[in-house]
Each structure stands twice: as C-alpha cells, then as structure tokens.
C-alpha cells in the first residue's frame, strides 16, 4: 500500500472487554510507533519497534496494554479489560528507520470508544 493503514477505523466496546488494533506500516519501514491522542490533546507515545530489536515500551500506561510486531510488518496493539479512560484515537506511524531524522508517516487512526 501507499501509506500506513490501520483497522478498524472505529471501535466501540464495553468496559472490561479486550480490543485489538492493527497497523500495517509502509513497506520497507523498519520503525513503527504507536501513539494515543485523547480529544483535544497532543500525541502520547506508547511503544516503538525498530527492526528486530526489543521494543521500547516505556510509554505504555499500564500492563493492560501490550503490542506485538512480526518482523518489519504488521503490528497489533492490544488493550485488555478496557476502561472508559482508554477512549481515544490510537495512531500508528512508521518511518524508514529510527535515526531521529526520519519522517514519521501516520495512519488514519483507530477511534476507540469504551462505554
């Protein structure tokens, strides 16, 4: 694909349920980032993957959040036992590498609503 894709675009779930969000990065991009953006707020870093290196999970807000990435392809962000405060747009971004100078390309996001 030409850009970063994410699915689903919208997800409504009940409190306590688990959700899985998917990100397909741009082909050839070794770095992948997940962010959370609450309404009217900035981007909150969650986790980043660089190639086959161990991911940087320093931004994950609790142990209910986890993410995986297979090689340099698809990533999934899983939120267990969702809470209302998890409601936000979850954005995925990829870049050619993680050298600090590489532009991040964002996907359209997944809007999560926890009832």
Partner 1 sequence: QKEVEQNSGPLSVPEGAIASLNCTYSDRGSQSFFWYRQYSGKSPELIMFIYSNGDKEDGRFTAQLNKASQYVSLLIRDSQPSDSATYLCAASGGSYIPTFGRGTSLIVHP
Q: Does 28 bind partner 1 (CB under 8 A)?
A: no
Residue length, the chain? 115
Q: Does 96 bind partner 1 (CB under 8 A)?
A: no
Binding segment for partner 1 (CB under 8 A), chosen from 21-29, 68-76, 80-88, 94-102, is 94-102
Return the H-helix or E-strand segment holding 6.
strand 5-7
Count of other CB atoms within 10 angstroms of residue 66 = 14
> CA–CA separation, 67 vs 46, rounded Å?
9
Contact residue for partner 1 among 5, 13, 55, 56 (CB under 8 A): 56
Residues 44/36, Cβ–Cβ less than 8 Å: yes
Contact residue for partner 1 among 43, 74, 76, 80 (CB under 8 A): 43
Tokens of 78: 């899983």
Contact residue for partner 1 among 33, 34, 49, 65 (CB under 8 A): 33
Q: Does 31 bind partner 1 (CB under 8 A)?
A: yes
Residues 102/31, Cβ–Cβ less than 8 Å: yes
Residues found near partner 1 in the complex (CB under 8 A): 31, 33, 35, 41-43, 45, 48, 50, 56, 58-59, 91, 98-101, 103-109
């Amino acid at each position: 694909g030409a850009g970063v894709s994410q699915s689903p675009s919208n997800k409504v779930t009940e409190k306590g349920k688990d959700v899985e969000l998917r990100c397909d990065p741009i082909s050839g991009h070794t770095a992948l980032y997940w962010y959370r953006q609450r309404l009217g707020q900035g981007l909150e870093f969650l986790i980043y993957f660089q190639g086959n290196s161990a991911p940087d999970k320093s931004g994950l807000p609790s142990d209910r959040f986890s993410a995986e990435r297979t090689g340099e392809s698809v990533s999934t962000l899983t939120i267990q036992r969702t809470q209302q405060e998890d409601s936000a747009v979850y954005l995925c971004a990829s870049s050619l590498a993680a050298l600090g100078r590489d532009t991040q390309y964002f996907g359209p996001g997944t809007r999560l609503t926890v009832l």
